[in-house]
Structure 1
Amino acid sequence: MLVHPPDRPTALPAAGANAIGFTLGLIGDEWNLLILRYAMLGVRRYGGWREALPISHAVLTRRLSNLTDMGVFEKAEYGSRRLEYRLTKRGRDLWPVLLSVWAWEAAWVPDHVESLPVMVHRRCGEPFLPVLTCAACAKPVRPRDVHGGFGPSGTWERSVPAATTRRRSTVAGAGMFPQTMTLIGNRWSAAILGASFQGLHRFRDFEQCLGAPPTIVAERLRVFCELGVFEQSPSAERADWLSYHLTEKGRAFFPVVITAIAWGQRWYRAPEGPAMVYTHPACGQDFHPRLRCDGCLVPLRGHEVAVERPPARSRRPSGP
């Protein structure tokens, strides 16, 4: 059984699931994402999650137990033998992923069940949007600005999400981030999206490389096209084949993907080496993501980000 220490990386066994597989197995679960979302907002106690989410006792208990076993939460007693679940160093380190999700939903998804909170940078005191930059040169980056591929432990087979819980396709009534949940709240969705950023375009490639059932691949591609994340076009090889390419909306999801990969590779270490290796040709250095405030351009830190309920007329990012 793997040990997941909350303050240092997990040592993975050779030839097994790599950092990508473990990361997708964790964040590719819609209940995990929702529980983490409220944990980032300060919820620590069982009753707080039960009040905030339409979640059953059995499901919440299993997810909290799993997240604790994975080193994301640690249990602490309060009052008379009552327990609360506190984010560990590993868990707190997920903030860039959640922050990137927040920003993408605000910019690209017009309708939400609840009003999206406003993110305020305590350093400059202003509402902000995170900007993805290169940690080495501080320049903003887009997907085409970064080159990368599989590293020593990176294969399609080893990157398949490591399923640790039973997943559902939707979480009714819990739609703060509805389209993000559609993209990564299902392990095959997350795998197909990640594969598209690595250059896969054809149905057959998704099916063969990921080992996903064809019915699931077809359904996921259909949903991604309906959301405007993928667009269909005739294949260059045969007119009766279709290719699936990321749209501008899909490419804008890159900060979520790259911050999730970076988190995974910090906290899951295969003996062969990293699963993914990226470079930034503009500066010639290895690429590591860093989020900056779009106002003051200072690198963001988790404890310097405040989440506030929007006033009647709040600053909202303009859509595309």
Structure 2
Amino acid sequence: MPPPPSVSEDVRVTDLPAGGRNPIGVALGLLGDEWTLLILRHALQGVRLYGGWMRELPISNAVLTGRLGRLTELGLLDRVAYQRRPERFEYRLTRRGRGVWPILLGIWSWELSWVPRYTEALPGMRHQVCGELFSPVLVCGACGEPVGPRNLVGGFGPSGTWERSMPSATTRRRSSGAQRAGFFPQTTALVGNRWSCALLGAAFQGTRRFSDFERQLSAPPVMVADRLRTFADLDVMTPDYRLTAKGLAFFPVVVHTMDWAQTWFRSPEGPAMVYTHRTCGHPFEPRYRCSVCAVRLRGGAIDRVPG
């Protein structure tokens, strides 16, 4: 068994075992789970108490306890006593936990723009700075220019292989209860399966042929065919395996997930993914700006507007 991850207290980065899952694989294993995303969404809205999540979500005690424990173990939440007699605890977001807001914002925006049907109305977004309804625009952190997948060059770094970048096969991905909670159903179809994660990443890196998907992912042909069929049914990929406009629009979620993963987790061999912005030549760091006022977005400056 590999040693458990250790946290470097000086920089609060989790050191991963050599040769194991790289930061991308760890992040996808965590954030590809619907319950985890739901818990984090409510945490960012201010929920801290166990009972608060139980009231908000159709979740069992066992599942909530397990997910909160995992989020605490990986440093996204701090379990803090707020009462001694009887002893009671709350779960506070850490900097690492608050850092997932661009990922959730990207999912929110993508589903709002591209998925017309919901079991519950998805709220719109209002930017507190300009007071307007907006969409987040992905930009380069160095030069501020808008960025799409074709504006970047690069790929796998020293720890970046397909095998190491995939979430563990034992990671639980799907949950009918979470789906009934009304959270972003098409997003979980894209990232809620280990093969879907890898195939989507390969597509963004330019893979276009069935045989190439099969070879790069070392995946069973039946699984590749099933995932490609699912992507086509969702209209994120064409029948000839090219990303559609809807598929390309998911790019901000992908790059913010990679950025968050490599900010907080570290493989000893080096980065899993390395990208450079073609326009300015700087290492790419994803940021969002408001589509209306062009001010850089901050997590605490966005309001939900009922649909």
Partner of 2:120: 114
Does residue 1:71 correspond to 2:75, yes or no? Answer: yes
Distance of 1:55 and 1:117 partners within structure 2: 22
Give the gaps of 5 or more residues in structure 2. Answer: none
Local SS of the residue matching 1:111: coil
Cα offset for 1:20? 0.9
Does residue 1:185 correspond to 2:182, yes or no? Answer: no
Partner of 1:267: 264
Cα offset for 1:163? 5.4
Partner of 2:247: 250
Contact in 2 for aligned 1:44/1:84 (Cα 8 Å): yes
Contact in 1 for aligned 2:160/2:273 (Cα 8 Å): yes
Cα offset for 1:123? 2.1
Does residue 1:41 correspond to 2:45, yes or no? Answer: yes
Q: What is the letter of the counterpart of residue 137 of structure 2? A: V
Cα offset for 1:53? 2.0
Distance of 1:137 and 1:49 partners within structure 2: 40
Does residue 1:99 correspond to 2:99, yes or no? Answer: no
Contact in 2 for aligned 1:29/1:187 (Cα 8 Å): no
Contact in 2 for aligned 1:97/1:259 (Cα 8 Å): yes
Change (3 A) 1:111 1:8: same
Partner of 1:28: 32
Distance of 2:54 and 2:183 partners within structure 1: 16
Cα offset for 1:286? 1.5
Moved more, 77-86 or 132-141: 77-86
Q: TM-score under structure 2 normalisation?
A: 0.91
Cα offset for 1:66? 0.8
Contact in 2 for aligned 1:119/1:306 (Cα 8 Å): yes
Contact in 2 for aligned 1:28/1:185 (Cα 8 Å): yes
Does residue 1:277 correspond to 2:274, yes or no? Answer: yes
Partner of 1:134: 140
Q: What is the letter of the counterpart of residue 17 of structure 2? A: P
Contact in 2 for aligned 1:76/1:86 (Cα 8 Å): yes
Q: State, as a whole percentage, how many aligned pairs show the same letter.
A: 58
Match of 2:230 among 210, 215, 223: 223
Q: 1:195-237 CA deviation, whole Å, 9 max, x = no partner?
A: 211122233333332233433322221111000001112xxxx
Partner of 2:303: 306
Aligned length: 300
Contact in 2 for aligned 1:142/1:254 (Cα 8 Å): yes
Does residue 1:144 correspond to 2:150, yes or no? Answer: yes
CA RMSD after TM alignment: 1.9
Contact in 1 for aligned 2:8/2:15 (Cα 8 Å): no
Q: TM-score under structure 1 normalisation?
A: 0.88
Cα offset for 1:257? 0.2
Distance of 1:306 and 1:74 partners within structure 2: 25
Does residue 1:287 correspond to 2:284, yes or no? Answer: yes
Partner of 2:19: 15
Distance of 1:198 and 1:61 partners within structure 2: 37
